[in-house]
Amino acid sequence: MILSRRIRATDAPPIPAARAWAARYDGRAGPALDLTQAVPGYPPPPALLAKLAEAAGSAASAGYGPIAGDAALREALAADASAFYRAAIPASAVAITAGCNLAFAMAMQVLAAEGEAVLVPTPWYFNHHMALTMQGVRTIPVPTRPEDGFVPDPARIAALLAEHKPRAVVLVTPNNPTGAIYPEAVIEQVAAACRTHGALLVLDETYRDFLPEDRIPPHRLFMDADWGEGLLHLYSFSKAYCVPGHRVGAVIAGPAVMTELEKAFDTFQICPPRPPQAALAWAIPTLAEWRDGNRALMAARAAFFRQAVSQLPGWRLDAIGTYFAFLRLPESAPDAMRAAEILAAEQGLMTLPGPFFGPGQDRHLRLAFANAEEPVLAQVPARLGAFT
């Protein structure tokens, strides 16, 4: 059987691979703990669940909708983003997508052709690299260092822009997998370098609703009247509203890019799912206080997790932020792939090893601590103790 060369070159999905190791776990250390996936560890509020059920049972939601999303949700997100970034963002600049992963893949269809390049800091979000590989686009890694908090160096990005002439630079902040929050100056310097070298900045802010209050707004890019000429922004409703299964994301882009994106929307999604759009249009203005509570809850879990693992001998918490911790293995431990397999198969602790997030990550594990309540997180140090 002859299958696509580009698909065969794409990495296998990491989370099923990591969970397969746990299939061998015999329960000796207690119940299995799954910290592989960035999924909210609690449900949406009852009022949102009721709105979702109501919309799903509506005849109006059963038909096709506009390819760029229903007007009510586009307008609600535009208003919310305008307030968040303290800039006027029109609804015409907003498109709703069937999840943020698809938003990224469709954006790459517009920005880069086969054989062209995109710069992505490492460690990177594995689905971004997978999407680029599927499309035959070269991923140029931009290494970051624990000593710098895994924040990319704008000067290094500028040099790689000059060398490789990529079509885009991708930044994810707050970051997946490290949790790092990029400083405003870094984001704006990278944006300026992109403009100088004719590349677009693709800024994925899936986790922006979990930023500390003193980091809002995280940048001033939307305050520039010409922001649409150099910026494509990605957003996800999954984490902020605890609805990952409903697959709703968003793109904010300038008119020239949006015109071309509509071709991808019509081809890949026809329209985003209708019922969650109706429910989320209600939720954005109504659940602002509930979202603030989510931010506080995740900050508390991060603080608890930091305290829990900080006293483990040999381990080093190189980064922690919204949803994720990036842990460096003790010197005596095997490399990350083998260590993650041992932890899953023998300790029932499922993590993702660093190599899933790009080159140079052989000594790190990602733990999605946001998935679990504090009593569960309290069990993690004992499981990690297998290597101390």
Residue 151 and residue 141: Cα distance in Å, rounded?
A: 13
* pLDDT bucket at 87, cuts 50 / 70 / 90: very high
In CATH, which superfamily holds the domain spanning 5-43+290-387? Aspartate Aminotransferase, domain 1 (3.90.1150.10)
pLDDT at 387 over 90: no
Instruction: Write down the pTM of the prediction.
Output: 0.96
Over residues 40-54, the mean pLDDT reads: 95
pLDDT of residue 171: 98
Q: For the residues 328-354, what does the mean pLDDT come to? A: 97
The DSSP bridge partners found for residue 95 are 251
pLDDT in tens, 175-217: 999 999 999 999 999 999 999 999 999 999 999 999 999 999 9
Average pLDDT for the chain: 96
1 has a pLDDT exceeding 90: no
Fold (CATH) for 62-287: Aspartate Aminotransferase; domain 2 (3.40.640)
Task: Report residue 52 CA to chain centroid gap.
Answer: 24
The Cα angle at residue 215 between residues 214 and 218, in degrees rounded to 5: 150
Mean of pLDDT values over 245-258 = 98
- With 90 as the cut, is the pLDDT of residue 355 above it? yes
In this model, does residue 388 exceed pLDDT 80?
A: no
pLDDT of residue 375: 94
Confirm whether 5-43+290-387 and 62-287 share one CATH topology.
no
Nearest one of 292, 270, 294, 290 to 282, comparing CA atoms: 290
Taking a C-beta distance cutoff of 8 angstroms, is the pair 321, 6 a contact? no
The contacts of residue 309 (CB under 8 Å, 6+ apart) are 315, 317, 325, 327, 380, 381, 384
Report the relative pairing of strands 364-367 and 33-34 from DSSP bridges: unpaired
Distance of CA 269 to the CA centre of its chain: 20
* Residue extents of the structural domains in the chain: 5-43+290-387, 62-287
Q: What is the pLDDT of residue 311?
A: 84
Q: Give the residue among 152, 26, 162, 172 at the shortest CA–CA distance from 101.
A: 172
Tokens coding 207: 């986790």
